[in-house]
Chain A
Amino acid sequence: MSVESKEPGLLEIALTFASISSTAFGGGQKASVRQQVLNRGWMDHERFMDGLEIAQVLPGPNILNLALYCGQRVRGIPGAVAAFVGASVPPFLIVLIAGALYFKFSTNPYVHGALRGCAAGALGLTIANALDLSWDERADWIRLLIVAITALAVSLLKMPLLLVLVAFGGAGIAREYLSSRRKTPKIV
């Protein structure tokens, strides 16, 4: 029972991720990748879920990391390169077109109004995301405290990102380590 039963061409890998990255938004992207790689027989569900977890733990956009994982699993480094090109070039070109239009038309009163309206909406989405993520932390007041201290340290004291991750990320990892030790008996 081989997991990588079919070996796709590099062009096929690039085009697969190009079609996903140029059409899918937010959470829909992961579902699209899953559907594509399973339908094409590139890997099984378990392998895919492994990749999804790793893609979310390591830095970088989840969708890009997931594409790299899939490309590399089926065709090694060349497959990862093909996946990188497929997952990043279409969004780059689309955002360039948006940028060119922005610099040409942003002073037009209608476009100006639209952009400001869109910005107010994007702010709302960010607030909703922050609320949603905070709600997930409600079970542990120490984790909520880390959320609050981080927000204050970054907003008021302009603490650099690296320092934030070391100090407050480190505090969160320590908290997680201690509470996981308390929950599960020591495995020797």
Chain B
Amino acid sequence: MNHTVETVLHLLWTFSQLSVLGFGGGKGIIPQMHADAVERYHWVTSQQFTQFYTIGKLVPGPTTIFAALVGYAATPGRPLVGAAAATIGMFLPSSVIMVGFDSLWDRFRASPWRTLIARGLAPAIVGLVWSSVLTIGRGAPANAVAYGVTAVVVFLSLRTKIGTPLLILLSGAVGVAAHL
């Protein structure tokens, strides 16, 4: 089989699985995405993965759009095809579930299952976010200046109303100034 075609199929299948498991807005899928994209298929390095995740947070729209960049890197001969495959895989399956739910909405509305699922899954999702911290940390720079930037951003994010893109851009400015 043609190498690009094979990669495209792997991208579609990998991101489709992440899509249907993307509870909590997709916050919990980062460790699994890293395991697939970096460790299993070697589409990107750990550092690229972290930088793509960063770009996902910097651009408007869902963070998980950075799947497109993983696809872009995975198919060097046809980057747009890989990017499109990863994005379709990431967004289409969960959308089909959402739309297919239409007939169940009214019944689901009064059902105790709604809060049961939302509140019940929350602790596992939070655990996955902690694990994402380690995943993203693996590709982040490991030196005193970078640790300082990270610590200041944690503080500013929790204590002020400065928006996400601005905090990332300010971190980038420090990175340029400090030749990080």
Contacts and interface: CB of A to CB of B under 8 A. Distances in A.
Contacts of A60: 19, 22, 25-26, 91, 94-95, 97-98
- Residue picked from A109, A123, A129, most chain B C-beta under 10 Å: A123
A13 to B, nearest CB: 14
A164 B94 contact: no
Nearest to B56: A95
Contacts of A28: 163
- Residue picked from B91, B97, B118, B175, most chain A C-beta under 10 Å: B175
- Ordered nearest first, which 5 A-B pairs have the shortest CB separation? A117-B175, A150-B127, A121-B171, A91-B61, A124-B153
- Interface size class for chain B? 35 or more
A114 B137 contact: no
B139 to A, nearest CB: 7
A60 B137 CA distance: 24
Given A96-B68, A99-B83, A124-B171, A63 B149 contact: no
A153 B127 CA distance: 9
A170 B172 CA distance: 40
Interface of B: 17-29, 31-32, 35, 47, 50-66, 68-69, 72-73, 79-80, 83-84, 87, 91, 94-95, 97-99, 101-102, 105, 108-109, 112, 114-134, 136-137, 139-141, 145-147, 149-154, 157-158, 163-165, 167-180
A1 to B, nearest CB: 17
Interface residues of A, number: 95
A185 interface: no
A91 B172 CA distance: 21
Given A60-B95, A120-B146, A161 B57 contact: no
A164 B123 CA distance: 11
A144 interface: yes
Interface of A: 21-26, 28-29, 50, 53-65, 68-69, 72, 77, 80, 84, 87-88, 90-92, 94-96, 98-99, 102-103, 106, 109-110, 113-134, 136-137, 143-144, 146-151, 153-155, 158, 160-162, 164-165, 168-177, 180
A24 to B, nearest CB: 6
Nearest to B71: A99
Contact of B149 (A53, A121, A131, A170): A121
- Residue picked from A72, A94, A127, A131, most chain B C-beta under 10 Å: A127
A106 B112 CA distance: 50
B124 A115 contact: no
B94 A59 contact: yes
28 contacts: A29-B61, A58-B97, A58-B101, A60-B95, A61-B94, A80-B95, A88-B91, A102-B52, A102-B69, A103-B79, A115-B172, A116-B141, A116-B180, A117-B176, A117-B180, A118-B54, A119-B139, A120-B171, A124-B152, A129-B27, A131-B154, A132-B158, A146-B123, A150-B127, A154-B31, A162-B17, A168-B124, A175-B123
